[in-house]
C-alpha cells in the first residue's frame, strides 16, 4: 500500500449511536480516506475531529454532548454530525465553539465542512483528477454547476422527468471548486444550473461554510462570495424573480460581469401560462428597466420559442412588440419542436411546421436590427476583453457581454502580443449585428 504523504491532514473520528449512524460513519470515513485525509485514533494527532452523534433518548443526548465537549477540550476543531446534529440549536447552545453542525445521512455536508476548515489534500500520484477537476472547456474559462434538476414543470421541457427536482450543491463545495479553478488559472466562471435563481430553495437556504465563514445557500450570497475571487463571473439561466434585483448592484459595482441570461421564452401571458413558465406573472419590462437603471451597461440575453402550440398571429405580434420594447442585447429563438414526452405536445391548435419556422425567421430579423443598434453603443469605447484565440496579428476575444459559444465576439486587430486566456484592453472601432471589432491598446 502506498504510504500517505507526510503532510496529509488528519481527522479524528468519534462514532456514537445505532447501526444506521455507524453506516454513516463508515461512509464519511471512506470518503475522507478516498480524498487523502489520514484517520488517526488520538485527539492530539488530529487536525480536526468529527463527532457522529446520537439523539434518540435523553441519555444518548447527554453522551453526545459530553463527547463533543471532550473533543473541543482535547482538540478544539470539531465538526458535529448525526441525529443530534439535526437539533443544531441544542448542540450550538451547549457548545458554541463547534465549527459546523450537520444532520444524519449527510456525508456531503460533513465533507463540505471538513473541506472548509481543513482543505482537501491533493496527491499528484494517486488523484485521477487535478484539484480543480477535469474541464472540457479551454483552460481560461469553466462552467460552475451549482445545482441539478428543476422544481418547475414547463410544458415543453422534459428535464424534470429525467433529472428530478432541484438539488442544490452545498455552497461551500461550489465555492471551493470555484476557488480551485481560479487558482488553476481560470479567468471566467460561468454559473449554470436549470434555474440559477432557485439555488438553495430545496435546502431552505441552509448555511454552509467557506474558508471558515458562514455563507447561505442562496444565489445572491453565492455570487457575492464568487465576486471575491477576482475572476469574471457570468450568470446563466436566471429567472426574473424580484430577488434577482439584489445581484444587479454587484454588476454595477464591477464585482460581477454586467450580464444576465434570462430565458423569457415568450411575452404573451396566455402562452406563458400554457408553457407553465416560472415567474410568468412578473412584469418583465419593468424588471428590465429597473436593471438598466441600476446598471446601464448590463447585457441581457434571452431565449424564446416561436410557434408554441396555440400561438395565434396576434400573440406572436405581442412577442415582437415585447422585443421592440425590451431592446434585449442577445437573443436566441427556436421554432417550437415537440420533444417526446413533453406535455405541450397534447395542447390543441398546433402551429404548422413551416409557419413556426417563418415566425422564427421574422423574430430573428427584428432582433438582428435591435442587436446591431445596441452594439453601436460600444463603438469608440475602451473595453476589457478575454482573449480566446490568437492567430497571427488577429485575436478572437470576448467582452463582458459575450458568453462563449452562444454570443458574439470581439475581433481584435494588431494583436500579435496577446495570448489566449489573457485579459486585455482594446478600443472598439466598429460593430455589426453580432460582433465588435477592435484594436489592441497594448504595443
Residues that bind ligand SF4 (CB under 6 A): 150, 152-154, 157, 159-160, 194-195, 278
Whole-number CA gyration radius for the chain? 26
Which residues share a beta bridge with 9? none
Backbone angles phi, psi at 182, to 5 degrees: -65, -40
CB of 72 or CB of 238, closer to ligand SF4: 238
- Asked if residues 426 and 438 have their Cβ atoms less than 8 Å apart, the reply is yes
- Least Å distance, CB 278 to ligand SF4, is 6
- Least Å distance, CB 267 to ligand SF4, is 16
Within 13 A of 415's CA, how many CA atoms are on the CB side? 29
Question: What per-residue string of b and e applies to 357-376 under the rule 16 or more CB within 10 Å gives b?
Answer: ebbbebbbebbeebbeebbe
Dihedral angle at the C-alpha atoms of 294, 300, 306, 310, nearest 10 degrees?
-30
- Least Å distance, CB 174 to ligand SF4, is 19
- Least Å distance, CB 195 to ligand SF4, is 5
- Least Å distance, CB 333 to ligand SF4, is 15
Residues for the chain: how many in total?
443
CB of 73 or CB of 145, closer to ligand SF4: 145
Question: What per-residue string of b and e applies to 48-80 under the rule 16 or more CB within 10 Å gives b?
Answer: bbbbbbbbeeeebbebbbebbeebbeebebbbb
- Least Å distance, CB 190 to ligand SF4, is 17
- Least Å distance, CB 359 to ligand SF4, is 20
CB of 24 or CB of 195, closer to ligand SF4: 195
CB of 209 or CB of 264, closer to ligand SF4: 264
- Asked if residues 157 and 339 have their Cβ atoms less than 8 Å apart, the reply is yes
Q: How many CB atoms lie within 10 A of CB 435?
A: 16
CB of 280 or CB of 371, closer to ligand SF4: 280
CB of 150 or CB of 186, closer to ligand SF4: 150
Which grid coordinates belong to 203?
435546502
CB of 126 or CB of 161, closer to ligand SF4: 161
- Least Å distance, CB 305 to ligand SF4, is 10
**Three-state secondary structure call for residue 127:** coil
CB of 277 or CB of 360, closer to ligand SF4: 277
| Distance, CA of 52 to CA of 67 (rounded, Å) | 9
Amino acid at each position: 500500500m502506498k504510504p500517505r504523504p507526510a503532510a496529509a491532514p488528519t481527522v479524528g473520528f468519534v462514532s456514537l449511536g445505532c447501526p444506521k449512524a455507524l453506516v454513516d460513519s463508515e461512509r464519511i470515513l471512506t470518503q475522507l480516506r478516498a480524498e487523502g485525509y489520514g484517520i488517526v485514533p488520538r485527539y492530539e494527532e488530529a487536525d480536526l475531529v468529527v463527532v457522529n452523534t446520537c439523539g434518540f433518548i435523553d441519555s444518548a443526548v447527554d453522551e453526545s454532548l459530553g463527547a463533543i465537549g471532550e473533543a473541543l477540550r482535547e482538540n478544539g476543531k470539531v465538526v458535529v454530525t448525526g441525529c443530534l446534529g439535526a437539533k443544531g440549536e441544542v448542540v450550538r447552545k451547549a457548545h458554541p465553539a463547534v465549527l459546523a453542525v450537520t444532520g444524519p445521512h449527510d456525508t456531503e455536508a460533513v465533507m463540505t465542512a471538513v473541506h472548509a476548515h481543513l482543505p482537501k489534500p491533493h496527491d499528484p500520484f494517486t488523484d485521477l483528477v487535478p484539484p480543480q477537476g477535469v474541464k472540457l472547456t479551454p483552460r481560461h474559462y469553466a462552467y460552475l454547476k451549482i445545482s441539478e434538476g428543476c422544481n418547475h414543470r414547463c410544458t415543453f421541457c422534459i428535464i424534470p422527468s429525467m433529472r428530478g427536482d432541484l438539488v442544490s450543491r452545498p455552497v461551500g463545495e461550489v465555492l471551493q471548486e470555484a476557488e480551485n479553478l481560479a487558482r488553476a488559472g481560470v479567468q471566467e466562471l460561468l454559473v449554470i444550473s436549470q434555474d440559477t435563481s432557485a439555488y438553495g430553495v430545496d435546502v431552505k437556504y441552509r448555511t454552509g461554510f467557506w474558508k471558515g465563514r458562514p455563507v447561505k445557500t442562496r444565489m445572491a450570497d453565492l455570487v457575492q462570495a464568487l465576486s471575491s475571487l477576482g475572476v469574471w463571473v457570468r450568470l446563466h439561466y436566471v429567472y426574473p424573480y424580484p430577488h434577482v434585483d439584489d445581484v444587479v448592484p454587484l454588476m454595477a459595482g464591477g464585482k460581477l460581469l454586467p450580464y444576465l441570461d434570462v430565458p423569457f421564452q415568450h411575452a404573451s401571458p396566455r402562452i406563458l401560462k400554457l408553457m407553465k413558465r416560472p415567474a410568468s406573472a412578473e412584469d418583465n419590462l419593468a424588471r428590465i428597466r429597473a436593471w438598466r437603471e441600476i446598471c446601464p451597461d448590463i447585457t441581457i440575453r434571452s431565449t424564446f420559442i416561436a410557434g408554441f402550440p396555440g400561438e395565434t398571429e396576434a400573440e406572436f405580434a405581442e412577442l415582437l412588440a415585447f422585443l421592440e420594447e425590451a431592446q434585449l442585447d442577445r437573443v436566441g429563438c427556436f421554432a417550437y419542436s415537440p420533444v417526446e414526452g413533453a406535455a405541450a405536445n397534447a395542447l390543441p391548435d398546433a402551429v404548422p411546421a413551416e409557419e413556426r419556422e417563418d415566425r422564427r425567421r421574422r423574430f430573428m430579423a427584428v432582433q438582428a436590427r435591435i442587436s446591431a443598434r445596441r452594439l453601436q453603443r460600444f463603438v469608440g469605447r475602451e473595453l476589457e476583453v478575454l482573449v480566446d484565440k490568437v492567430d497571427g496579428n488577429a485575436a478572437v476575444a470576448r467582452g463582458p457581454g459575450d458568453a462563449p459559444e452562444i454570443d458574439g465576439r470581439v475581433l481584435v486587430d494588431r494583436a500579435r502580443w496577446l495570448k489566449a486566456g489573457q485579459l486585455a484592453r482594446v478600443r472598439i472601432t466598429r460593430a455589426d449585428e453580432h460582433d465588435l471589432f477592435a484594436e489592441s491598446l497594448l504595443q
